[in-house]
Structure 1
């Protein structure tokens, strides 16, 4: 009997080791956990329940009306997921999306310039401050953009589009580096 399939991060190949230029860094983030939470629960109450389930280091990102993505770098145990689902019962539903989505980090002084080449979101810090998130398109690929710092962003994409998005970002990065220099 063949061995069971082993999980391999989609951007694990050597060509996805990251990219750094003078004003830009592109990196594949750990495939930890990504949960989709739907329901009438506000972020402070959700954060409390996350802490009780051992997910205090996770971040909460708005994904739509009464919808949030909960992202973190550590893999999620079935016990933690079950504890969170039980704690949210009657308030919200939780679905594990860890297997189906990939996170990519973009940082550096040219990060906004790079993203402006692929999306129409106004990423000015006055309009899109740290912690803000938006569902949008980068080229033809649907992504969630989250501002994680002054010049840093995280993009969450469906797993099957991760390599295409990476290639598109590298192409846009080369152009942004020339303009930002």
Structure 2
């Protein structure tokens, strides 16, 4: 979210100050309080302001695949529910012609879309910045898979769901994209509109881990 404040100078001299606001701003106090609780069993933190771009295209079109690879640093993955690693980006398979490209660090909003859209040229493809509508959360701890299983219907056994994979699912009523990044560590893409609910329901589910 962008908060804008305008000074009282004459119109021609006015400047607009833009401040980025995390989707978790309303639950920052809850996250802070959680930091000291059961650190080995569960921990959660937001990874805000990542570039997130939804890409649609045809893998059989060399123009699309080449343009994508030149910008991102890898080809879109063709195997369902897998991830490809690029130059500072991860590419998540969402469907046969759909991917979510996520930056590995906080960047200027809209940076990737501005590179991809013109690169596609006349190819039958699209790149849409969705970073303002989502945020990224990291959770880890010895009982993280147990915690996720309380609200996620996927089989989360580490032999079946591990690094290099991703899946669209839900955590209770919040739609998510779930990304294993370690034995007991996950990144979760969640909609901005569900951020407050997701944080509260996750911390509520984790409360028993501290006992």
CA contact (8 A) 2:136 2:190 kept: yes
1:29 equivalent to 2:42? Answer: no
Residue 50 in 1 paired to residue 69 in 2? Answer: no
Match for residue 57 of structure 2?
A: 39
| TM-score under structure 2 length normalisation | 0.73
Per-residue deviation, 1:91: 5.3
Structure (1 or 2) with the larger CA radius of gyration:
2
Q: What is the match of residue 7 of structure 1?
A: 20
Cα pair distance change 1:95/1:116, threshold 3 Å: same
Identify the residue that residue 12 of structure 2 maps to in structure 1: none
Deviations 1:11-59 (A, max 9, x none): 13333346352221111112221111111249x864542149xx72111
Which residue of 1 is the match for residue 127 of structure 2? 94
Query: Which one has more relative contact order, counting CA pairs under 8 Å at least 6 apart?
Result: 1
* Aligned CA-pair RMSD: 2.6
Unaligned runs of 5+ in 2: 7-15, 75-85
The worse-fitting range, judged by mean Cα deviation, of 29-38 and 162-171 is 29-38
**TM-score, length basis structure 1:** 0.83
Q: Following superposition of structure 1 onto structure 2, how do residues 48-87 of structure 1 map, counting pairs within 5 Å? A: 48-51=70-73, 56-72=87-103, 73-76=105-108, 78=110, 80-87=112-119
- Quick one: structure 1 residues 128 and 78, their matched pair in 2 at CA, closer, same or farther if it must change by over 3 Å? closer
Contact in 1 for aligned 2:43/2:141 (Cα 8 Å) = yes
